[in-house]
Chain A
Amino acid sequence: MITDKEVLKTATKLSAEEIQKGKVLSVKWTPNLKYAWDNGPAIGRYLAELKNGKIIGKTCDKCHRIMIPPRMFCELCWVPTGEWVYVKDTGIVNTWVVSYVDWKAGRLDIKGGVRPFTPAVIEIDGASKGMGILHHLNEVDPWKIHRGMKVKAVWKPPEERTGSITDIKYFKPIK
């Protein structure tokens, strides 16, 4: 089940540097791909409320879940959702990571003192059990984070908020 061994011999190893320095034929192309995403009424209001420093969800009248992020239809019951409900900006850590890499698999300078990323799934208080969102943790020793840890959103000052999930800077532990 193998091709001939020549495959191994002809294989090449390239470094990113060799490409950047033009030592190999490469195509330089900066894609100018910009998107203007429509968010729909549910995420639209979610973002507008984040700008106000609040987190809003929506209920399903059939399964009675309080869902965040809010959505216009319940994906489980396949019916339109009901009331808007404000939930809290506190929650508990469902699961987390201590990451030494960024989104491009680039290494962080941990030895140089850079704090690892600590993204987590945070179950938000006031939403149905298990309803989590992805966000970052901070103001905590990465190695002391634990399942069930109580956390609270740290918001940007109102004048800096833009109506984005990043209007919450991160979540930090509370007692």
Chain B
Amino acid sequence: MRRVAIVGAGLTKFYRNTQETPKELAYEATKMALDSCELKLSDIDCVVNGTAPDAFDGVHMKGEYLSDGSGAYRKPYMRHYVGGGTGVLSPIHGWFHVASGMFDTCLVVAEEKMSSAYPHPAGAFLTIFDHTTEQPLYPTLIWIFAIEMNRFMTTHGYKKEDIALVAVKNKKNAMDHPSAQLPAEITVQDVLNSEIMAWPVNRLDISPTSDGAACIVLAAEHVARRITEKPIWIDGVGWALDTAYWTTRDLYYPDYLEVAARQAYKMAGIKEPSKEIHVAEPYDPFTYKELHHIEGLMLAPRGKSVQMLVDGHFNRNGNLPTSPSGGLLGVGNPIAAAGLMKIIELYLQLKGEAGKRQIPGNPTCGVANAWGDLMQVGTVTVLRK
């Protein structure tokens, strides 16, 4: 296998109800990524695209629909999709193409436009449940995430007001992100007083409906060294699915993520993740989910993540900054693009080009994950400089 680097990145503003079409968003991010490393589309050998349910846009076969905006005209092109986990599968999918030796360069494009679905994109998710045993009960995603949050809380004795600190931290971090949709200085009390959606989940525990696109440029080592003095290497990849019989799993712990993380850490030669990783972008569509994933990534012992959060361990100037970007809670959650936004944040942090968001201490190793399908998929990418 060949070593693969990220050499360029582009990210649109995240916003609800952008006027641009999905294709235009994809074009914007892709053009920006190519410009960032001074490459032309003719320098690119292949393109991969990540985008979540077709039902958001009401366009079936969305991968094909997005191909033009992704720069895929007459190039090898392939779409990948694992629900919310898509955005961190994106760099992995691009990595296959280059690591295999088949291609020297690859564009990895992720796009999502959720706001086209009315009255609310949540309705598009009913059909992800088992058609016979679950759909007749009219479940919704918020229910099953709140169900998981409650199991996480009752197992470890975590309190809602402590978990709310994730929203406070991430929205504040997002104040420094130019693409952010929901940056804010809020308090724990604001989270607790926000509208109850599905207890224990309040409105400020959830990331928003968003539109946006992201793109990274991948290159094989010999090409990457010609393009940039600071390539950021994809040193570990892992992905795994737990069973779709989600009500038979103990939801307090994300086993799917531990399996994926162990795979990625093994490939990257990481033995003690909590010491060897300097910055993390755990997937945070909900407040509890950042903590759930910090434990699954083995960056905190089980049952200890909340105390570490309260102690400031995960702040931008803490021992292990998590979601320094502002995460999905602060920057926004255009599903696939949000996952790739996390990868781009690590890329900028490791390059030392994160501007006001730059964490101290010259970080050299970062990890990001995403999660999706029926709460069952884990996708993990480890980057190093």
A: residues with CB less than 8 A from B are 1-3, 7-8, 10-14, 16, 19, 35, 37, 39, 43, 46-47, 67, 69, 71, 75-76, 94-106, 116-117, 119-121, 130-136, 147, 164-166
Contact B12 A3 (CB under 8 A): yes
In the bound complex, what is the Cα–Cα distance between A117 and B137 (angstroms)?
11
In the bound complex, what is the Cα–Cα distance between A120 and B134 (angstroms)?
12
What chain A residues lie within 8 Å of B10 (beta carbons)? Answer: 1
Q: Is B250 an interface residue (CB 8 A)?
A: yes
In the bound complex, what is the Cα–Cα distance between A12 and B118 (angstroms)?
15
Q: Mind listing 24 A-B residue pairs with CB under 8 Å? A: A1-B344, A2-B13, A3-B32, A12-B17, A13-B17, A46-B133, A47-B132, A69-B133, A95-B147, A95-B150, A97-B143, A99-B140, A100-B197, A101-B140, A103-B122, A104-B140, A117-B198, A119-B147, A133-B247, A134-B139, A165-B133, A165-B136, A166-B136, A166-B137
Q: Which 6 residue pairs spanning A and B have beta carbons closest together?
A: A99-B198, A2-B178, A95-B151, A105-B122, A104-B123, A98-B199
Contact A98 B196 (CB under 8 A): yes
Q: Is B299 an interface residue (CB 8 A)?
A: no
In the bound complex, what is the Cα–Cα distance between A131 and B246 (angstroms)?
10
Contact B150 A96 (CB under 8 A): yes
- Kindly count the residue-residue contacts between A and B in the assembled complex, taking CB atoms under 8 Å apart: 150
CB distance from A170 to the nearest CB of B (A): 10
CB distance from B145 to the nearest CB of A (A): 9
The residue that B118 contacts in the complex, of A13, A16, A117, with Cβ under 8 A, is A16
Contact B134 A100 (CB under 8 A): no
Q: Which residue of A lies closest to B13 (CB)?
A: A7
CB distance from B71 to the nearest CB of A (A): 16
Extra 13 A-B pairs, beta carbons < 8 Å, given A95-B151, A96-B150: A3-B12, A3-B13, A99-B146, A101-B140, A103-B123, A104-B122, A105-B119, A119-B139, A121-B247, A134-B134, A134-B247, A147-B150, A166-B136
CB distance from A71 to the nearest CB of B (A): 8
Contact B137 A99 (CB under 8 A): no
Q: Is B42 an interface residue (CB 8 A)?
A: no
Contact B15 A7 (CB under 8 A): yes
What chain B residues lie within 8 Å of A147 (beta carbons)? Answer: 150, 154
Q: Which residue of B lies closest to A164 (CB)?
A: B136
Q: Is B243 an interface residue (CB 8 A)?
A: yes
Interface string of B129-165 (1 = CB under 8 A from A): 0011110111110111011101100100000000000
Residues facing A in B1-39 (CB within 8 A) are 9-13, 15-20, 28, 32
Q: Which residue of B lies closest to A67 (CB)?
A: B248
With A1-B178, A37-B131, A99-B142: A106-B248 Cβ-Cβ less than 8 Å:
no
Contact B197 A95 (CB under 8 A): no
